[in-house]
Amino acid sequence: MVRFEDVALSYGDGPNVLQDVSYQFAPGSFHFLTGPSGAGKSSLLRMMYLALTPTAGRVTIFDRDTAQLKRQERAVMRRRIGVVFQDFHLLDHLTAVENVSLPLAINGESDRATRQDVAELLAWVGLKEHLDALPPTLSGGQQQRVAIARAVITRPALLLADEPTGNVDDRIAVRLMYLFEELNKLGTTVIIATHNDSLVARFRHPVLRLNGGHLAVQKQENVAAARLTASAVVESQAT
Amino acid sequence: MIGGRRDMPLNRDSTGRFLPWLIAVMVYLASLATMGALTMTKIANEWQSSLTGQLTVQVPVSMPAVESRDAAEDEQVQILLALLKGTPGVESAILMPLDEINQLLEPWLGVVDASASLPLPRLISVTVSPDAPFDMAGLREELQSAVPGTTVDDHQQWLNGLLDLAGLIKLVALLVVVLVGLSAVIMVVFVTRMGLAVHRQIIELLHLIGAHDAYVARQFQWHALKLGLRGGLIGLLCAGATLFLADHFVSRLQASLLPDLALTPLDWLLLVAVPLIAALITLITARITVLQSLARLL
Ligand SMILES: Nc1ncnc2c1ncn2[C@@H]1O[C@H](COP(=O)(O)OP(=O)(O)OP(=O)(O)O)[C@@H](O)[C@H]1O
Ligand SMILES: [Mg+2]
């Protein structure tokens, strides 16, 4: 599904933010991505949603080398990837419903046809009362749920969520995690970057840990079901 | 609203707010220039069709005493008339009555019997068949050898001068239309680029969600069309009012030199087409600008 091979990444002329990252995310897998702030979690996700190309090495998604994609192909591939951005990236002048229906509109579906589905999903994440609210009038946690709804509305093949539960209380966080698990059961490959250790502990999925630019699989005593095991080869070298 | 989605709040852009007014001015200028060119064409055609096939033969004025003059001239006129009527291609040759000559001179000389007090040339008005090939130079020679000093005016020189002028005016009008169109394109490119810069973050997000450039371009182009139509309508109304006034004044002039200048339904149709074309140019320019700018972004 997603394969990293000896990937390094730096911003501009800066130092490498990521180094020697090699890992393969199996189709239908569910991973947590953790690490201290500034470790490069968002950067790793950015390569997966094609906002960045690696400085060295290769990132392969849906069996395509992301560096080789043409502009049009990249747009098509992005439609199969749902992203919850760390800072949401909602459009402030559009209502919650309009924000969530954005990926559908880009797919060419009319707003009128999709409104029902969108409203249901928003109700599911607890925003039944805020369908036509503009993001600036919503709390951080509410905005985050709009962002999540927008990421999952198309049932993407790959879901990348950057700190998706950072602004909500534990009860809602757990509910959102169930949403991701539902999606995962339907076949979506899920990767969630998070600081929330209790959440990581509660949902027993493989955990990848970024530190000093290197990626390592964190052992959990009780690794979840076999279908979730990643075919992981991780090389972690000391700098 | 045209175009459905409005993912970028384009109608809140201050850059787009003045565009309709500029388009209005441009449509106004282009409409007037177009109508000017059309009118000039009409006048030129009118002159040409009323003057081709018309010749004026001028009998030379002999200067001796007034009494003998008429007799001598009458004779010359008879010779010329006979000659003209015998020329193939000539449909009619009529001696212009003195009254008529007096009438032509009236605006300049007042009501006097000019022919009595002035040595005026006699004029023969000749109509030539438009179909038959006609030997102008041959006729001129023949008339001159019969009565030396006879001149033949086929009005071509005068007409050519007028047609040249009309052509020039049309050319200038065309230039105005082209320049106005060009400025409109430049304006729209500028406003669209500003829009792209202002909404850069939104566009980046749309791209990340999988939008093709065409998706972004569509929203810009419908917005531009809306602005173009709005401006075009204003320009059209102003141009219509101006032409209506001009029409009013021309019809009050009742100038015999001017042909009927009233706007035909076709003219009005053309007038309405100007803002539509302007709006279309706005749409296409916006689209191309967005597609080109985005392609450069990577
Ligand atoms: N656009 C950028 N330009 C330059 N450097 C950047 C940019 N984005 C991130 N970095 C650097 O890359 C490193 C990794 O940042 P990243 O955002 O990937 O960390 P993170 O693990 O997501 O952190 P957090 O948990 O705080 O979100 C940081 O040192 C940061 O300064
Ligand atoms: Mg981050």
Q: At what angle do helices B213-253 and B19-51 cross, to 10 degrees?
A: 50
ipTM: 0.88
Q: What is the CA radius of gyration of chain B?
A: 32
Q: Give the integer Cα–Cα distance in Å for A138 and A91.
A: 12
Assigned domain for A167 exists: no
Are the beta carbons of A51 and B208 separated by less than 8 Å?
yes
Minimal CA–CA distance to B29: which of B206, B224, B180? B180
Please name the residue that has the structure tokens 């569509």: B218
Beta strands A189-193 and A158-162: pairing type?
Answer: parallel
Strands (E), B89-200: 90-95, 122-128, 151-153
Element (H, E) at A207: strand A207-211
* Distance (Å) from CA A46 to ligand 2 centroid: 10
Minimal CA–CA distance to B159: which of B298, B55, B282? B55
Cross-strand bridge partners of residue B93: B126
Q: Is the pLDDT of residue A223 over 50?
A: no
Are the beta carbons of A76 and B208 separated by less than 8 Å?
no
Q: From the CA of A113, how many Å to the nearest CA of chain B? A: 13
What's the whole-model pTM score?
A: 0.80
Please name the residue that has the structure tokens 């599911």: A124
Assigned domain for A186 exists: no
Question: How is residue B227 annotated by DSSP?
Answer: H
Q: Which amino acid is at B113?
A: D
Assigned domain for A200 exists: yes
Q: Give the integer Cα–Cα distance in Å for B87 and B93.
A: 10
Taking a C-beta distance cutoff of 8 angstroms, is the pair A91, B7 a contact? yes
Minimal CA–CA distance to B24: which of B149, B180, B243? B180
Taking a C-beta distance cutoff of 8 angstroms, is the pair A65, A58 a contact? yes
pLDDT recorded at residue B115: 59
* Distance (Å) from CA A211 to ligand 1 centroid: 12
A97: chain B residues, CB-CB within 8 Å? none
* Distance (Å) from CA A82 to ligand 2 centroid: 16
Nearest listed ligand to the Cα of residue A39: 1
pLDDT recorded at residue B2: 46
Minimal CA–CA distance to A79: which of A54, A108, A59, A99? A108
Assigned domain for A137 exists: no
* Distance (Å) from CA B257 to ligand 2 centroid: 82
pLDDT recorded at residue A112: 84
| Residue A100: closest C-alpha in chain B | B209
pLDDT recorded at residue B141: 86
Q: Give the integer Cα–Cα distance in Å for B170 and B163.
A: 10
Q: What is the CA radius of gyration of chain A?
A: 18
Contact residues of ligand 1, CB 6 A cut-off = A 11, 14, 17, 35, 37-43, 86
Q: What are phi and psi of B91, to 5 degrees?
A: -85, -40
- Output the furthest CA–CA distance in chain A (Å, rounded): 55
Assigned domain for A27 exists: yes
Please report, in tens digits, the pLDDT of each residue of chain B (298 residues total): 445 778 888 888 887 788 999 999 999 999 999 988 888 888 888 877 777 778 888 887 765 545 555 666 778 888 888 888 888 878 888 888 877 777 777 777 766 665 566 667 778 888 887 776 777 788 888 888 888 888 888 777 778 888 888 889 889 999 999 999 999 999 999 999 999 999 999 999 999 999 999 999 999 999 999 999 999 999 999 999 998 888 788 777 765 556 666 778 888 898 999 999 999 999 999 999 999 999 887 5
Q: Give the integer Cα–Cα distance in Å for B184 and B28.
A: 12
Q: Best of B203, B208, B294 to disrupt the A interface by mutation (most A CBs within 10 Å)?
A: B208
Assigned domain for A21 exists: yes
Assigned domain for A181 exists: no
A76: chain B residues, CB-CB within 8 Å? 210
Cross-strand bridge partners of residue B151: B58
Taking a C-beta distance cutoff of 8 angstroms, is the pair B39, B189 a contact? no
Domain architecture of chain B: domains with CATH: 10-44+169-295 (no CATH), 54-153 (3.30.70)
Cross-strand bridge partners of residue A209: A34, A216
B9: chain A residues, CB-CB within 8 Å? 93
**CATH number for position A215:** 3.40.50.300
Q: Which atom of ligand 1 is nearest to the CA of A41?
A: 21
Element (H, E) at B283: helix B265-296
Are the beta carbons of A78 and B208 separated by less than 8 Å?
yes
- A-B contacts (CB, under 8 Å): 49
Q: Give the integer Cα–Cα distance in Å for A186 and B70.
A: 117
Q: How many residues does chain A have?
A: 239
Q: Give the integer Cα–Cα distance in Å for B283 and B220.
A: 8
| Helix then strand then coil, % of chain A, to nearest 5 | 35, 25, 40
| Residue B6: closest C-alpha in chain A | A94
User: Which SS3 state, helix, strand or coil, does residue B61 take?
Assistant: coil
Q: Give the integer Cα–Cα distance in Å for A35 and A44.
A: 12
Nearest listed ligand to the Cα of residue A35: 1
pLDDT recorded at residue A208: 95
Q: Give the integer Cα–Cα distance in Å for B294 and A217.
A: 39
Percent of chain A with pLDDT over 70: 91
Minimal CA–CA distance to B296: which of B200, B155, B159, B231? B200
Assigned domain for A41 exists: yes
Q: Let me know if B160 is exposed, middle or buried by CB neighbors in 10 A (0-12, 13-18, 19+).
A: exposed
Which of A44 and B41 is assigned the larger pLDDT? A44
Chain B residues with CB under 8 Å of a chain A CB are 4-5, 7, 9, 12, 201-202, 205-213, 215, 295, 298
Q: Closest Cα to atom 16, ligand 1: which residue?
A: A40
Q: Give the integer Cα–Cα distance in Å for A4 and A239.
A: 19
Residue numbers of the domain that contains A43:
1-80+194-239
Are the beta carbons of A71 and B12 separated by less than 8 Å?
no
| Residue B219: closest C-alpha in chain A | A106
Q: What are phi and psi of A67, to 5 degrees?
A: -75, -20
Taking a C-beta distance cutoff of 8 angstroms, is the pair B21, B234 a contact? yes
User: Which SS3 state, helix, strand or coil, does residue B233 take?
Assistant: helix
- Number of separate domains in chain A: 1
Beta strands B54-59 and B151-153: pairing type?
Answer: antiparallel
